[in-house]
């Protein structure tokens, strides 16, 4: 009985063993096949970009990055394989030939660590996502080079590739089905269940005999169902030209309710060197995107076909007199209405000597106002772009993740490119480009100098996007920013002097502006007005600030312009000699204005209270508002406002007003 | 030939072929082919359905086929084998007449063909066998669905009532001689000139009436000739008279004569000829001197007479009227050829011309020749007086000279066509097909062969490079004659327009649309032009240009709607043509 029992167990074991071997046979490659595959599959690499420019709040904990990655001078970006025809094959998206990024030089690396530069592109199509190429100095080892397999469904398959950039790995699954590509059903994707990770792209999908079924191109988001291009597609592919195509919806930050569909296509002769194709495609694609952005800028900037000044609501925008503490951005909201906006999450970072940075973000961009420390001269501030950015980075946070840590970047170093952009309203912005090469990104910053510091907005872009629309998008933002400048008389004088010296640009709205002050009086004048106030009426002290607001108006040609027609002069402290002067040259509403706007204009021109020149008391102040009609202008008046500290100073405020208005001249 | 079986007997089958039969179940329902007039029924009478057997033939044995067997997957050949197998079981068929006299027949006494059908009043199957010596006799046996025997009997085909009454039991030759004797001279010519096709279809050779079922002839005329009434038949005869295959032959002949210095391939290139015309050109080049002035008119004339005889049998026209209408045709033939054999030789040549693209010219010509050879010594046809040789300006064509043999150049073209005549199963075959372009680099139809192969594999998008490569072969010809001759020009540009649009190659699609010259589908061309512009919206970097594309798309889509194209509603709405 025992023998019989033993026999039973033995037989059962043999059966199980055979079953296991059978399963294993399906799930594994023979040693010969494995060797052939491993000698025929390569990593695709790019050189790591230098990043000496960046400074961090502390030393990066690079030891926490895996050794193989941190010690590698290349970054793996995908997989390629050698076929028996002697050509290498991969997925087109591994080689982003159109993108003007940090990784322009491509290499392959064999299993022994030998690196070879990619030389000529032989076949290329971005829609089907394939590329074939030759490499420089490569001699195929004996037996290397894969063969094509006959397509079959429901067979064991193996994905071979540089999964997660950690070297070539082979994983098994089933070729389950085919599925039509989405756009026009022009070809079938192979769908397989063998695992595929980032880095597998461009690798071969092989049979258990090591023959190639297709090129691994895509993976599903969450499930282990991946896609490969049948190798047959390359047999049918044109040999004499390549094809690049991409479809995208272009979003303009200041146009929230609309995106703009575009399809870029380019055919180019093959074979050619990879450098030649990169140069051609990058140039062409960059031009295409820049043209889109420029065209949209032309369309949506003031005066453009769809600019805010062409649409209903312009009257309200022009007459909007709200005094704002943070620069405003005019944008088209999701309902296609032009509205003013500002970051809702503004925080303040204090600097030394009363300096500060107010910052917040909106539309994916960081906006900031930098008020320089009182002890810092404007000249000193504007002498270093790096200095400005380093200061801004104390308030605006960009970090680098290393393993689980986020390390703050304290300096981008010097900008890699600087230019001046004069916006639609004639304001000269300092535009700088900064490399964040470890992330293949760039920062674009726009700085508008002011008498007390600057206004800035900046965005983090994939490196290729800077010239492929990013710059133009930000220029449109610059066109639509509404700022006011508030500074001491000394600061204004320094600012104007710097503009005269050409160190910074002078906004068109400040054309002709001069400020003079001495013990006797001060005089502010520009092309619109001249205001002279004796010291006996209002003395200029260190704490006295002059604020100039830009106001929209149309010039004689109907063009929308900004003019410095609105000023305030007041001390920032409330001492007994506190006095406040406002002069606001207010335009009649434009055609199409709402009833409310028209009624408001009627109240002003008819000098209805509070614009009736009658002093009134409120809180702890005595006020007087009145209208000064400007000779020769039916559509323009000056709203004058005066304040004195303490109530009941009606006669004084009247006299104060008369004295100021006596020194006010409107230019023709 | 004598009868060996008494027609009054009834037979009882003893053979049991139940198992074999059941393997063929289920059988499609089929109308019973026999009607009253059957005698010797053992069991319930067969109902009168008014139908006749669809394909029974008297002259040369069984040439018919059994539709419902085909539906089961039996080919004509395998059908024969199946039936033969049934009879070859070696089991005796015991037949018992209702008069009680009993005989036994071995299977070999029956034609090795049987009809197996599902009878309407018998919930099972019926097997029929036909007597070899007099095929209008049959035996039958029927089984219930459970396999048990139901009934059996013997009968005869009722269309031979007249024959049986008049002539009793004569040999078939006696019958045929008698039929021929009764024909008028004109009817004899009609029978003689249409004999080849009449024989091939198993109809009566020596009577003007062909003796087939009304339904069968209607089916033949409808499916084979797309004729649904007498007017269709007359129109077809008119076409055969004025054009037909001999018209094509003459067109090819004219092409060769107009281009004496050009090779067939030069002409194929210049005239953008499709494969069929190229094959015909080779044929005409080889045969025209042998065939003389009348070319292959005999092929169309012979078929015209056939059509009239069939139309009469279909009941669309009286036998008398059909006969009258054959007279001008037979008169023309009599005055064009010097003998029935001369006529038949031209007819056989025409048979070859007709079947060129099937690449089985030899077998088809042999098939036609087989009949002629059988009858060439039969004084019924061969002695009919025709145009005297002295009066005949054309060469007398011998039967042996009617055969077309492709020369080496034509043979290579046949090989090319043979390759493309089968749709490819995979991409490699498709690529091999392109190798033919190295032999025929400027021949439009070779590009079309390759393109059609791409379409067969569903590789529409991938075919676009080939369109581009082929474009130089499909330029607008210099003369209208060339354009008229070319059958591929519009097909090429039309297909390119559609496929380029499918792949969003708008500029290509627009160019192709501009080249399309056919005017029968302007709506589709307008729609495709609209589609080209629609696809271009967004391709330009500037809004102005994209707006232009939108306007043009709307313009062409509106035009397509006006021309009757059913433009999808979502497109119309997107372009603002509808709400």
Question: Are A263 and B502 inside 8 Å of each other by CB?
Answer: no
Residues of chain A with Cβ-Cβ distance to B457 below 8 Å are none
How far apart, in whole angstroms, are the C-alpha atoms of residue B158 and residue B213? 12
Residue B87 has pLDDT above 50, yes or no: no
* Cβ contact B462–A260 (<8 Å): no
Contact flag A291-B504 (C-beta cutoff 8 Å): no
Residues B120, B3 contacting (CB under 8 angstroms): no
Residue among B502, B539, B544 whose CB faces A184 most closely: B502
Higher pLDDT among residues B102 and A355, named by residue: A355
Which token pair is B190? Answer: 């009609």
pLDDT band at B17 (very low <50, low <70, confident <90, very high): very low
More confident position, A591 or B284: B284
Q: Which residues of A touch B (CB under 8 A)?
A: 150-151, 183-184, 186-187, 232-233, 235-238, 247, 260-265, 288-289, 291-292, 295-296, 299, 305
In chain B, residues with a C-beta closer than 8 Å to the C-beta of A260 are 538, 543
Which position has the higher pLDDT, B531 or B50? B531
Are B541 and A288 an interchain contact pair (Cβ–Cβ within 8 Å)?
A: yes
Cβ <8 Å between A264 and B539 = yes
So what's the pLDDT on residue A520? 93
Whether residue B9 is predicted with pLDDT greater than 80 in this model: the reply is: no
Predicted pLDDT at A668: 73
Cβ-nearest to A236 among B427, B503, B537: B427
Cβ atoms within 10 A of the Cβ of B132, count?
A: 17
Cα–Cα dist A245/A129, whole Å: 10
Higher pLDDT, B109 or B229: B229
Q: Which of A123, A147, A232 to mutate to test the interface with B (most CBs of B within 10 A)?
A: A232
Whole-model pTM: value is 0.74
Of A186, A232, A291, Cβ closest to residue B542: A291
CB contact under 8 A, B462 and A264: no
> CB distance A187–B461 less than 8 Å?
yes
* CB pair distance less than 8 Å for B542 and A186: no
Residue A331's Cα: distance from chain center in Å? 16
Minimum mean pLDDT among A22-31, A269-278, B138-147, B426-435: which range?
A: B138-147
Q: B427–A263: do the CB atoms touch at under 8 Å?
A: no
Mean pLDDT for chain B overall: 75
B495: closest CA of chain A, how far (Å): 15
Q: Which of A237, A265, A295 lies closest to B542 in CB terms?
A: A295
Q: For residue A303, what are the contacts with CB-CB under 8 A and spacing of at least 6?
A: A309, A310, A424, A559, A560
Whether residue B66 is predicted with pLDDT greater than 60 in this model: the reply is: no
pLDDT of residue B140: 57
Are A625 and A610 within 8 A, CB to CB? yes
pLDDT at residue number B210: 83
Contact flag B461-A184 (C-beta cutoff 8 Å): yes
Q: Please say whether the beta carbons of A517 and A496 come within 8 A.
A: no
ipTM for the complex shown:
0.80
Residue B122 confidence (pLDDT) above 90 = no
Question: Which has the closest alpha carbon to A40: A237, A215, A210?
Answer: A210
**Residue B537 Cα, gap to closest chain A Cα (Å):** 8
Does B107 score more than 70 pLDDT?
A: no
Chain B closest-CA separation from residue A462 CA (Å): 21
Confidence of residue A168 (pLDDT cuts 50, 70, 90): confident
| Per-residue model confidence as pLDDT tens digits over B547-558 | 999 999 999 999
Check whether B24 has a pLDDT greater than 60. Answer: no
Distance from C-alpha of A525 to C-alpha of A517, rounded to nearest angstrom: 12
Q: Which of A123, A212, A236, A267 should be substituted to probe chain B, the one whose Cβ sees the most B Cβ atoms within 10 Å?
A: A236
Note the pLDDT tens digit of each residue in B324-373: 999 999 999 999 999 999 999 999 999 999 989 887 888 888 888 888 88
Q: What is the pLDDT averaged over residues A320-338?
A: 83
CA of A249: which chain B residue's CA is closest? B538
> What does residue B98 show for φ and ψ, rounded to 5 degrees?
-70, -15
- Phi and psi of A280, rounded to 5°? -65, -50
How is residue A239 written in tokens?
A: 């040999």
Cβ neighbours of B431 in A, within 8 Å: 235-236
E strand or H helix that includes residue A435: strand A428-436
From the number of C-beta atoms within 10 Å of its C-beta (0-12, 13-18, 19+), residue A17 rates as exposed
pLDDT in tens, A36-50: 999 999 999 998 888
Q: What is the DSSP letter of A61?
A: -
CA distance A182 to B500: 17
Structure tokens at A515: 């400020």
């Amino acid at each position: 009985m025992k023998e019989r029992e033993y026999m039973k167990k033995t037989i059962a074991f043999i059966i199980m063993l055979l079953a296991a071997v059978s399963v294993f046979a399906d799930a594994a490659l023979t040693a010969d096949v494995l060797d052939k595959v491993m000698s025929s599959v390569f990593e695709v690499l790019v050189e790591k970009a230098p990043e000496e420019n960046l400074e961090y709040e502390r030393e990066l904990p690079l030891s926490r990055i895996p050794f193989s990655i941190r010690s590698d001078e290349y970054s793996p970006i995908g997989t390629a394989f050698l076929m028996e025809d002697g050509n290498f094959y991969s997925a087109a998206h591994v080689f982003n030939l159109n993108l003007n990024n940090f990784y322009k030089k491509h290499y392959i690396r064999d299993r022994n660590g030998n690196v070879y530069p990619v030389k000529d592109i032989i076949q290329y199509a971005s829609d089907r996502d394939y590329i074939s190429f030759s490499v420089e100095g490569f001699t195929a080892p004996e037996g290397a080079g894969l063969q094509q397999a006959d397509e079959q469904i429901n067979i064991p398959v193996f994905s071979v590739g540089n999964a997660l950039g950690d070297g070539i790995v082979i994983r098994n699954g089933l070729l389950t089905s085919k599925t039509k590509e989405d756009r026009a059903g022009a070809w079938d994707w192979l769908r397989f269940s063998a695992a595929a990770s980032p880095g597998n792209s461009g690798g071969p999908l092989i049979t258990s005999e090591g023959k190639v079924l297709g090129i691994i191109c895509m993976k599903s988001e969450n499930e282990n169902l991946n896609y490969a291009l049948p190798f047959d597609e390359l047999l049918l592919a044109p040999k004499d030209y390549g094809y690049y195509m991409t479809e995208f919806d272009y979003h303009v930050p200041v146009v929230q309710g609309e995106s703009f569909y575009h399809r870029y296509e380019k055919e180019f002769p093959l074979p050619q060197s990879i450098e030649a194709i990169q140069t051609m495609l990058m140039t062409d694609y960059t031009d295409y995107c820049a043209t889109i952005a420029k065209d949209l800028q032309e369309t949506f900037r003031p005066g453009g076909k769809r600019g805010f000044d062409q649409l209903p609501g312009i009257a309200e925008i022009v007459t909007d007199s709200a005094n704002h503490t943070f620069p405003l951005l005019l944008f088209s909201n999701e309902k296609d209405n032009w509205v003013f906006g500002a970051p809702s999450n503004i925080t303040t970072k204090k600097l030394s000597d009363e300096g500060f940075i107010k910052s917040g973000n909106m539309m994916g961009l960081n906006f900031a106002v930098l008020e320089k420390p009182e002890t810092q001269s404007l000249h000193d501030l504007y002498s270093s772009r790096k200095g400005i950015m380093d200061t801004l980075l104390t308030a605006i946070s960009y970090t680098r993740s290393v393993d689980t840590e986020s390390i703050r970047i304290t300096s981008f170093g010097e900008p890699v490119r600087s230019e001046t952009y004069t916006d639609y309203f004639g304001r000269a912005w300092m535009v700088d480009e900064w490399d964040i090469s470890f992330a293949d990104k760039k920062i674009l910053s726009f700085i508008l100098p002011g008498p007390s510091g600057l206004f800035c907005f900046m965005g983090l872009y994939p490196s290729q996007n800077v010239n492929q629309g990013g710059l133009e998008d930000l220029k449109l933002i610059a066109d639509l920013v509404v700022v006011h400048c508030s500074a001491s008389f000394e600061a204004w004088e320094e600012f104007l002097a710097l503009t005269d010296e050409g160190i910074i640009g002078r906004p068109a709205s400040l054309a002709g502006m001069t400020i003079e002050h001495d013990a006797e009086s001060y005089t502010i004048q520009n092309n619109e007005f001249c205001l002279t106030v004796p010291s006996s009426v209002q003395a200029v002290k260190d704490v006295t600030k002059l604020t100039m607001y830009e106001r929209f108006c149309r010039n004689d040609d109907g063009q929308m312009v900004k003019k410095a027609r609105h000023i305030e002069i007041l001390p920032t402290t409330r001492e007994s000699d506190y006095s406040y002067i406002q002069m606001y040259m207010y335009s009649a509403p434009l055609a199409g204005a709402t009833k409310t706007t028209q009624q408001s204009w009627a109240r002003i021109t008819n000098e209805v209270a509070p614009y009736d020149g009658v002093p009134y008391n409120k809180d702890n102040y005595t006020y007087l508002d009145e209208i000064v009609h400007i000779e020769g202008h039916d559509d323009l008046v000056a709203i004058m406002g005066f304040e004195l500290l303490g109530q009941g100073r009606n006669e004084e405020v009247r006299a104060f007003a008369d004295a100021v208005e006596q020194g006010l001249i409107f230019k023709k | 030939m004598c009868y060996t079986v008494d027609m009054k007997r009834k037979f009882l089958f003893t053979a049991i072929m139940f198992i074999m039969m059941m393997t063929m179940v289920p059988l499609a329902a089929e109308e019973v082919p026999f009607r009253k007039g059957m005698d010797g029924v053992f069991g319930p009478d067969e109902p009168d359905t008014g139908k006749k057997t669809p394909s029974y033939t008297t002259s040369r044995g069984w040439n018919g086929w059994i539709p419902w067997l085909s539906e089961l997957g039996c080919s004509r050949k395998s059908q024969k084998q199946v039936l033969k197998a049934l009879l070859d079981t070696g089991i005796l068929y015991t037949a018992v007449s209702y008069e009680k006299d009993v005989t036994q027949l071995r299977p070999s006494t029956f034609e090795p063909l049987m009809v197996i059908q599902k009878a309407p009043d018998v919930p099972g199957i019926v097997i029929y066998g036909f007597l070899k010596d007099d095929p209008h006799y049959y035996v039958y046996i029927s089984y219930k669905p459970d396999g048990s025997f139901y009934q059996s009997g013997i009968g005869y085909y009722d269309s031979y009532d007249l024959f049986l009454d008049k002539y009793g039991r004569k040999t078939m030759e006696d019958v045929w001689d008698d039929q021929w004797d009764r024909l008028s001279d004109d009817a004899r010519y009609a029978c003689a000139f249409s004999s080849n096709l009449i024989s091939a279809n198993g109809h009566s050779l020596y009577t003007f009436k062909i003796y087939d079922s009304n339904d069968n002839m209607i089916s033949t005329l409808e499916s084979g000739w797309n004729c649904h009434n007498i007017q269709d038949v007359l129109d077809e005869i008119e076409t055969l008279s004025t054009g037909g295959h001999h018209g094509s032959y003459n067109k090819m002949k004219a092409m060769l004569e107009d281009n004496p210095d050009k090779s067939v391939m030069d002409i194929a290139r210049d005239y953008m000829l499709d494969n069929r015309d190229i094959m015909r050109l080779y044929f005409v080049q080889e045969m025209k001197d042998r065939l003389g002035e009348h070319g292959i008119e005999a092929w169309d004339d012979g078929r015209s007479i056939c059509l009239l005889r069939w139309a009469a049998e279909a009941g669309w026209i009286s036998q008398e009227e059909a006969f009258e209408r054959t007279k001008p045709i037979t008169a023309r033939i009599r005055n064009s050829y010097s003998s029935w054999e001369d006529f038949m030789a031209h007819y056989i040549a025409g048979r070859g011309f007709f079947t060129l693209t099937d690449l089985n010219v030899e077998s088809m010509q042999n098939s036609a020749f087989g009949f002629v050879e059988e009858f060439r010594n039969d004084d019924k046809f061969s002695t009919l007086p025709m145009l005297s040789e002295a009066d005949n300006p054309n060469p007398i064509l011998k039967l042996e000279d009617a055969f077309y043999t492709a020369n080496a150049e034509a043979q290579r073209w046949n090989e090319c066509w043979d390759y493309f005549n089968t749709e490819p199963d995979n991409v490699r075959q498709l690529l091999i097909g392109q190798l033919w372009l190295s032999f025929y680099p400027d021949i439009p139809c070779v590009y079309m062969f390759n393109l059609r192969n791409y379409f067969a594999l569903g590789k529409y998008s991938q075919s676009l490079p080939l369109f581009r490569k082929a474009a130089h072969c499909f330029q607008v010809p210099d003369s209208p004659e060339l354009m008229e001759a070319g059958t591929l020009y519009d097909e090429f540009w039309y297909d390119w327009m559609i496929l380029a649009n499918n792949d969003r190659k708008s500029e290509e699609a627009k160019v192709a649309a501009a080249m399309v010259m056919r005017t029968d589908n302007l709506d589709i061309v307008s729609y495709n032009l609209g589609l080209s512009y629609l696809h271009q919206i967004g391709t330009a970097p500037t809004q102005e240009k994209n707006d232009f594309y939108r306007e043009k798309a709307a313009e062409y889509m509106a035009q397509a709607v006006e021309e009757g194209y059913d433009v999808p509603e979502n497109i119309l709405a997107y372009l603002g043509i509808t709400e």
